[in-house]
């Protein structure tokens, strides 16, 4: 279907109130505080099983996606996806979608959402990256003193400390 016709169909669906909608919220897993400005990526993954209609289950996954930015309350709303050429396509019921939340200073969170009817809702709980729990250390100070005199041989030192001697 040409992009112009697809865009017209999407506009008609939206204006008639017949379009499906996926709403959600991204929150900090530690305290349920909203994560403003988080990026949410959405794409269809598979057709939902439909008893008695195997042809629908074998439908190839369309190349559609959306990227949204959460508002100050950490919420988002999706009604349209974009195809590879940038054309609009309505959110399709009867599909399972992968919803991924990303934010600076947090681990990525992924949820699978089944859109069975006209609307679905999801809450994505993302965990803050704890610098103390990270392997390694934060290096501070002058550039010359950062590696304890390794003079550019940081990889050799990392290998030595992990029990693997460079070159042998």
Calculate the average pLDDT of the chain.
Answer: 77
pLDDT, tens only, 73-113: 999 999 999 988 888 998 888 899 999 999 999 999 999 99
In order of their start, the domains of the chain are: 3-130 (2.60.40.1120), 135-161 (no CATH)
Using a cut of 0.75, tell me whether the model's pTM lies above it: no
pLDDT, tens only, 3-57: 454 444 444 444 444 469 999 999 999 999 999 999 999 999 988 887 766 665 5
In order, the DSSP letters of 9-60 are HHHHHHHHT-S-EEEEEEEETTT--B-TT-EEEEEEEEEPP-TT-HHHHTPP
Can you tell me the distance from the alpha carbon of 9 to that of 3, in angstroms, rounded to the nearest whole number? Answer: 10
pLDDT for 10 equals: 45
Residue 21 has a CB neighbour count (10 Å cut-off) of: 17
């Amino acid at each position: 279907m040409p992009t112009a016709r697809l865009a017209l169909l999407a506009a008609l669906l939206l204006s008639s109130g017949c379009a499906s909608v996926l709403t959600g919220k991204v929150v900090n897993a530690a305290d349920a505080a909203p994560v403003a400005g988080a990026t949410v990526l959405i794409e269809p993954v598979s057709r939902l099983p439909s008893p008695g209609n195997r042809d629908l289950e074998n439908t190839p996954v369309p190349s559609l996606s959306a990227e949204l930015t959460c508002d100050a309350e950490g919420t988002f709303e999706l009604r349209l996806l974009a195809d590879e050429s940038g054309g609009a396509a309505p959110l399709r019921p009867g599909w399972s979608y992968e919803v991924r939340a990303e934010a600076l200073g947090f681990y990525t969170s992924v949820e699978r959402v089944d859109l069975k009817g006209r609307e679905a809702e999801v809450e994505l709980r993302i965990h803050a990256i704890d610098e103390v729990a990270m392997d390694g250390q934060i290096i501070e100070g002058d550039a010359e003193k950062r590696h304890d005199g390794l003079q550019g041989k940081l990889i050799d030192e990392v290998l030595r400390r992990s029990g693997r001697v460079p070159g042998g």
